[in-house]
Amino acid sequence: MSDSEEFDLVIEGGTVVDEQSERTLNVYVRNGSIAAITEPHEQLTTRQTLDARGLSVLPGMIDAHTHFRTWSKHSDTFGEMADAAAAGGITTVAGFVMGMNAHGTTLASRVRECLADASSTSPIDFAFHAAIADEKHTLDELSEMVELGVTSFKMFMINRARRMMVDDGFLLAAMKHISQLGGLPMVHAELEDLSMALAAEARDNPALNHVQRFVAARPTWLEAEATRRAIQIAHQADVPLYVVHVTCEDALNEIRRARQQGLIVFAETCPQYLSLTEDEMERQGGLVKVAPPLRSEHDRRALVDAVLSGEINVVSSDHAPYTREVKTDTATDFLDIPVGMPGTQTLVGVTWKVLSEAGGSPRDLVRVLAANPSRVFGFTRKGRIEVGADADITLVNFDDSTVVSAAKLHGPAGYSAYEDWRLPLRIVETLQRGQSVLKNDTVCTNEVGRFIARTPNSGAEARR
């Protein structure tokens, strides 16, 4: 065998996990890509060997929904968020460029600024979703965003006071533009006017405490109605739809009905909705205030079942961190505490805890945290272990465990909703294009991460 045929690395003797199978195989890497996969007894020439015996070899995990400090009060910079993701076994992270209506900015300027920042600070590969609102020239800028490689666009159906909300007319116009460009619209499905009316009723009810008033203003039927409306608008625009952080069976039922009609609707949920219930808000207060709110045990179980059945396509963190001080400020009314919590570093472990306890397998974990995010968002070289894909690998010991401790988490938030939880896995090592990103619980930055520029209809595989 000539030097040109020599491989850079072999990941030897581990259990390679994909959506369908778990097999002991050797994975060979050359120039950052998976170049060969062989049975254990087949030995090829390589410069370096990584002994993976006793470990599971997963495709690099993907966190498809994160927030960072973009014209906002989030505590993490992009680099801090990406460090936390890398520490949790993530090799690809997708962040939302927010800042709609921020003074002196445009959609294009915000995306380009975030791209420049992330390109010099992220230890892992990254992509962007652009959050859009009814700003002057925004719809005209969508084609520029697609040319840049940003093809997914999020719209909020709530939060008028923060100038984030869009009305139905803008939703329809934007979705038609996105359809023509081969992009993917995403919605935060809650309805502003109804929520405000319910909030007013709750404020006048002395029997409700602050937590109960927050929940009363954002019930499951409100999320379901927003989901139904967004689906119908997407249908009129002839475009698939991605519904972020589905929290309840009511909303899930609307997605089921749409799919029965032949519509393409992708559903995402998050570990907090799979593992925590509204009772947790009474215990942890503002630390677990998220939007939509945590739901009932019935809804939690329905979501877990939907993940295992494949009805929910993607699990992602919705990492939206604020510091402990901000989230527990006793001088701030509970209703004014910002929504969101840190979660990217615990995404893999908490998701596995929930799925394993419900009878799930590592194949389910790979499906919702690697294969499906790659398909839906067009990360064409990510999310799978096959020849030609990037050599992004997460090595996991499912026979070990990890105890969550805020002291060991990256970023300035200073807390975790899962403090002291024992997660039934240990992430041993993570590779980005064959180079170690996480080893011995330390994030390594051999080179900064690369921007994943997507092309129009790049998630077409998932849309068929």
Residue 30: pLDDT over 90: yes
| Residue recorded with tokens 């306890």 | 357
Nearest to 157 by CA among 67, 87, 57, 234: 234
Q: Using CA atoms, how far apart are residues 312 and 265, in angstroms rounded to an integer? A: 10
Reduced to 3 states, what is the DSSP secondary structure of residue 264? coil
Note the CATH number of domain 60-385.
3.20.20.140
338 DSSP 8-state letter:
P
Average pLDDT, the chain: 96
Task: Give alpha helix (H) positions in 204-292.
Answer: 210-216, 220-237, 249-260, 271-275, 279-284
Rounded Cα distance, 441 and 425, in Å: 13
219-228 confidence digits (pLDDT tens): 999 999 999 9
Please report where in the chains the tokens 């909030």 appear, as a residue: 199
pLDDT higher than threshold 70 for residue 2: no
Mean pLDDT, rounded, for 22-44: 97
Query: Residues 315, 325: contact at Cβ < 8 Å?
Result: no
> What pLDDT was estimated at residue 1?
37
Q: Report the DSSP beta bridge partners of residue 367.
A: none
pLDDT digits (tens, 9 = 90+) for 127-173: 999 999 999 999 999 999 999 999 999 999 999 999 999 999 999 99
Structure tokens at 139: 């719809």
Contact in structure between 255 and 279 (CB atoms under 8 Å): no
- pLDDT category at 67 given cuts 50, 70, 90 is very high
pLDDT at 264: 98
Whether pLDDT at 332 is above 60: yes
Question: What percent of the chain is modeled with pLDDT above 90?
Answer: 95
Q: Which two tokens stand for residue 444?
A: 């390594």
Contacts of 190 (CB under 8 A, 6+ apart): 157, 158, 218, 222, 223, 226, 291, 292
For residue range 229-279, list pLDDT tens digits in order. Answer: 999 999 999 999 999 999 999 999 999 999 999 999 999 999 999 999 999
* 95: three-class secondary structure by DSSP: strand
pTM to 2 decimal places: 0.97
Residue type, 322: Y
Whether the Cβ atoms of residue 427 and residue 356 lie closer than 8 Å to each other = no
Backbone angles phi, psi at 432, to 5 degrees: -115, 115
Task: Say whether pLDDT at 331 is over 90.
Answer: no
Distance from C-alpha of 142 to C-alpha of 139, rounded to nearest angstrom = 5
- Do residues 134 and 170 touch, judged by C-beta distance below 8 A? yes
Tokens of 396: 């996991």
- For residue 370, which phi and psi values (nearest 5 degrees)? -145, -65
pLDDT of residue 446: 64
Burial classification of residue 296, based on how many CB atoms lie within 10 Å of its CB (0-12 exposed, 13-18 middle, 19 or more buried): middle
Rounded Cα distance, 347 and 213, in Å: 29
Tokens (6 digits) for 6: 């020599």
The helix or strand, by DSSP H or E, that contains position 373, with its residue range, turns out to be helix 372-377
Q: How far is CA 443 from CA 75, 123, 319, 440, in A?
A: 20, 8, 19, 8
Sorted by where each begins, the domain ranges of the chain are: 60-385
Q: What is the pLDDT of residues 338-381, one digit of tens each?
A: 999 999 999 999 999 999 999 999 999 999 999 999 999 999 99
Q: Which pLDDT belongs to residue 4? A: 57
For 87-141, the pLDDT digits (tens) are 999 999 999 999 999 999 999 999 999 999 999 999 999 999 999 999 999 999 9
